[in-house]
Every structure is written in structure tokens, then in C-alpha cells.
Amino acid sequence: MRLTLRVWRQTGPGEPGAMTEYQVSGIVPEMSFLEMLDVLNEELILRGEDPVAFDHDCREGICGACGMVINGQAHGPERTTTCQLHMREFGDGDTIDVEPWRAAAFPVVKDLVVDRSAFDRIIGAGGYITAPTGSAPDAHAVPVPKEAAETAFENAECIGCGACVAACPNGSAMLFTSAKVVHLNTLPQGAPERESRVLGMVGAMDAEGFGGCTNAGECATACPKGIPLPSIAAMNREYLRAARRAPR
């Protein structure tokens, strides 16, 4: 396949950027999208040009490092991560637009690389269970109903890629934050910190400059892991409950 790529190039944070056009050939359907970019980058290196910077690591859809807006969609046309998108989804002669996540809370670092450290700070604000090493009771001391375990798991699957934020017209991080709140608040082990967790995480989310939720639902559509949209409503309930109880 031969393709025309229009790729966002930006040399550094706060620098101006622009879409730049490249031709790539020799692309086969079995290649992943990132392997296609590898081909482009090797050509650029040999031409003495700066290769396109992008984040990636596992290339298995689990680390959450990769992420680009492809033809206007977060992670492209398939509901998966960019690294698991394969070129068989495209046709010979296609023109493909490749851009970074765009969100106020995710400043561009270079080209397709953005700064998602806000996510780490949201987790630090309560996205954990306080259980210092050595303090744990036997694992079977507290049985967890299978249903609760599955709800927790479903939400714990979030890979923190940021597609939800990129897809949201408001740049909101509600799906990401709610996934962790629901994961931990569903488990008996998470109950003691149930309120401080949701208050802390939502507070951090707002402080990081993510937008509000207007129920557009784009986040869940873009999520490669299928984090359920109702988690947002569940988090809102947790928040209201906690806010009511919090000492004023």
C-alpha cells in the first residue's frame, strides 16, 4: 500500500505546530499502525530529518502509552489502542491524518507526545487503598462477592491512555476518574476510604483543568477497554453521598 500521511509536527511544548505531509509506501495489511510509522521514521532518519515522536511501549494494548487522533478519532477507526490498530483497516492510496491528543490538561510535549501526568496526580489524590506492606490479613479473610469482583475488575481494566479525554468535546476526565473510584469503592477493602477517595480524586481532576461532563458519551465510545459509561453516574452518586457527609 501507498499512503499519504498528514502528521502534526511540533518541536516542543508551547511551540507552534503544523500538519506536515509525507508519503509512505511498502505498507502491508499485517502491519500495525505504529509499525507503519516505524517505516516512515526510518526513512526520515536516512534523509537526515527528525523522525516523528510518539509514545509507545508494550505494543499489546495494555500499557496505555500509545495514543493518537487518527482521522479525527481517538485511536482511529477501530475500538482499540493505536498499537493494536492494523493497516488492514486502511486502503491503498488513503490519506490519513495523525494528531496528538488535544486537551487543555494534556499539553503537547513534541509531535504526537503529550503530557498526561495529570492522571498520575488524580490517582495520588485518593486512587488507592491504604494498606502498608505487611499489614494485610489473609486473602480469604474478606470474601468478595463474584459480582462485586467483576464490577471492580471491569473498571480496573482502564489503561490510562487518555483517549476518553481526547474524545470528549470538553476534555473531561470523568471516565478515567470514575473507573478508579468504582473499582476501589466497590470492594469491601476500599470501603473505609470511600468518601475521602471520591472527594480527593474529583478535586484533583478539577484542579488539573479537565473540563466538565455534559453526557456526550464520546469517552466510552472511544475507550479501548470498554470502561462502562454508567461508571460516571456511579461516581457522581458516590460524590454526592460523600459531599453530604463531609463535615462543613
- Which residue among 77, 91, 143, 230 contacts another protein (CB under 8 A)? 143
Task: Identify the residue among 39, 63, 229, 233 touching ligand FES (CB under 6 A).
Answer: 63
Does 32 contact ligand FES by CB under 6 A? no
Residues in the chain: 248
Using the contact rule CB under 6 A, the part of the chain among 15-23, 50-58, 209-217, 233-241 near ligand FES is 50-58
Instruction: Please say whether the beta carbons of 97 and 70 come within 8 A.
Output: yes
Secondary structure of residue 201 in the 3-state scheme: helix
Q: Among the residues of the chain, which ranges form H helices?
A: 33-46, 117-124, 146-156, 163-167, 174-186, 194-207, 218-222, 230-245
In the complex with another protein, the residue whose CB is nearer, 134 or 244, is 134
Report in angstroms how near the CB of residue 44 gets to another protein at its nearest: 8
* Binding map of another protein across residues 188-227, x = CB under 8 A, - = no contact: -xx-------------------------------------
Residue 183, strand partner residues: none
Q: At 32, which amino acid appears? A: S
> Is residue 151 close enough to count as binding ligand FES by CB under 6 A?
no
Min CB(67)–ligand FES separation in Å:
7
Interaction of residue 60 with another protein, rule CB under 8 A? yes
Sheet of 73-74, strand order: 17-24, 3-10, 95-99, 69-70, 73-74
- If the CB atoms of residues 58 and 233 are measured against ligand FES, the closer one turns out to be 58
CB of 102 to another protein, least distance (A): 17
Q: Which of 3, 7, 31, 164 is in the footprint of another protein by CB under 8 A?
A: 31
The answer to the question of residue 62 lying near ligand FES (CB under 6 A) is: yes
Planar angle of CA 52, 2, 224, nearest 5 degrees: 60
Residue 46 has, within 13 A of its CA and on its CB side, a CA count of: 5
Stretch that binds ligand FES, among 7-15, 77-85, 105-113, 172-180 (CB under 6 A): 77-85
Q: How many helices (H) and strands (E) does the chain have?
A: 8, 7
* Identity of the residue numbered 168: C
Contact status: 95 vs another protein (CB under 8 A): no
Would you tell me which residues interact with ligand FES (CB under 6 A)? Answer: 56-59, 61-66, 81-83
